[in-house]
């Protein structure tokens, strides 16, 4: 049994009325601690991590409004990457919840509420849906977040990324994305090859250095734009690599010309 199989089993027992059900953490030394991204909804304060059956010291809890990830290199992905690299998280879970108010908020409602807070629309990004990560389905939001995390260069290929939904009334968990199955499929399929190519492109770009990138005016901000699939993320990295190559080619120092041949010295006239 793997970690999330045990978590779902414990959750089933807790929902049925057994508050003593817990994950036997000693059996999962290579899968814990767990890093989880959830919403800031206060109703989750009591539900998590109790409904996962994991002790607090094994639960690295990240939260934002709507448990939203907007791109493979967003600030949320930075935190998840650091949770793995610094805090030692072995697996990741993106956990959405039922009755999410962020998902129920339309762009017009958001603008009205921001206006009452004195926020000027003219100072906001043009595409509010993309910037705020607004969504209509909690399930699709979780799937999109998992996709971004899985293709992010900040998350190692050996870190499973799961997607779950929790019912805020019953506490029941639904395993929306099985990170183990996704990981196995990505390692051998078309997606795996695309991710390897994307990693190589990003690695080449990183070696150029931020200072040089700024000097050449490389469009680095495009790295963080939304890429909905592995193919889209690969296109972004190839675009960056191409831009860098073009800039380097244009600014390269010209090859010095060959020195002119030495002047010919006339021979003295022959005596008769």
Please choose, from the candidates 197, 173, 183, the residue with its C-alpha nearest in 3D space to the C-alpha of residue 146. Answer: 183
- Give the list of residues 6+ apart from residue 53 with CB closer than 8 angstroms, or none: 6, 7, 10, 11, 14, 21, 22, 23
Architecture of domain 3-180: 3-Layer(aba) Sandwich (3.40)
pLDDT classification of 52: cutoffs 50, 70, 90: very high
Mean pLDDT of 9-33: 96
- Give the list of residues 6+ apart from residue 239 with CB closer than 8 angstroms, or none: 222
Contact criterion met (CB below 8 Å) for 25 and 54: yes
pLDDT of residue 185: 79
pLDDT of residue 107: 87
pLDDT of residue 246: 55
Contact criterion met (CB below 8 Å) for 109 and 87: no
This prediction has a pTM of 0.69
Most confident of 159-163, 224-228, 237-241, 267-271: 159-163
Contact criterion met (CB below 8 Å) for 155 and 80: yes
Mean pLDDT of 146-167: 96
pLDDT of residue 229: 46
- Does residue 140 or residue 134 have the better pLDDT? 140
pLDDT of residue 177: 97
Q: For the CA atoms of 218, 220, 226, 228, what is the dihedral angle to 10 degrees?
A: 70
How many whole angstroms from its chain centre is CA 21? 32
pLDDT at 240 > cutoff 60: no
Mean pLDDT of 46-51: 90
pLDDT of residue 144: 94
Q: What percent of the chain has pLDDT over 70?
A: 68
Predicted confidence (pLDDT) per residue in 78-97, tens digit: 999 999 999 999 999 999 99
Predicted confidence (pLDDT) per residue in 241-268, tens digit: 555 455 445 444 444 555 555 555 555 5
pLDDT at 226 > cutoff 50: no
Predicted confidence (pLDDT) per residue in 167-221, tens digit: 999 999 999 999 999 878 766 655 555 555 555 544 444 444 443 344 444 443 3
pLDDT classification of 122: cutoffs 50, 70, 90: very high
User: How many Å apart are CA 180 and CA 161, to the nearest integer?
Assistant: 8
The whole-chain average pLDDT of the chain stands at 80
pLDDT of residue 105: 86
pLDDT of residue 28: 97
Break the chain into its structural domains and give their ranges: 3-180, 190-250
Q: Give the C-alpha distances (Å, rounded to integers) separating 45 from 13, 14, 136.
A: 20, 16, 23
């Amino acid at each position: 049994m793997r970690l999330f199989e045990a978590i779902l089993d414990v959750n089933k027992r807790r929902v049925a009325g057994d508050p003593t059900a817990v994950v036997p953490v000693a059996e999962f030394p290579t899968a814990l601690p767990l890093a989880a991204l959830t919403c800031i909804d206060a109703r989750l304060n009591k539900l998590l991590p109790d409904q996962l059956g994991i002790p607090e010291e094994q639960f690295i809890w990240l939260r934002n409004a709507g448990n939203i990830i907007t791109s493979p290199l967003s600030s949320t992905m930075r935190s998840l990457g650091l949770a793995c690299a610094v805090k030692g998280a072995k697996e990741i879970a993106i956990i959405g919840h039922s009755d999410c108010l962020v998902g129920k908020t339309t762009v017009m409602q958001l603008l009205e509420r921001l206006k009452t807070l004195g926020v000027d629309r003219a100072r906001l990004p043009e595409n509010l849906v993309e910037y705020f990560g607004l969504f209509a389905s909690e399930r699709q939001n979780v799937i999109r977040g998992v996709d971004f995390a899985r293709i992010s260069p900040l998350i190692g290929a050996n870190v499973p990324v799961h997607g779950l939904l929790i019912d805020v009334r019953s506490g029941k968990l639904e395993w929306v994305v099985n990170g183990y199955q996704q990981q196995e499929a990505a390692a051998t399929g078309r997606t795996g090859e695309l991710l390897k190519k994307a990693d190589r492109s990003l690695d080449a770009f990183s070696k150029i250095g931020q200072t040089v990138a700024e000097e050449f005016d490389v469009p680095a901000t495009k790295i963080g734009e939304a890429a909905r699939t592995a193919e889209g993320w690969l296109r972004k990295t190839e675009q960056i690599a191409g831009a860098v190559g073009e800039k380097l080619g244009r600014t390269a120092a010209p090859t010095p010309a060959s020195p002119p041949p030495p002047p010919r010295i006339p021979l003295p006239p022959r005596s008769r």
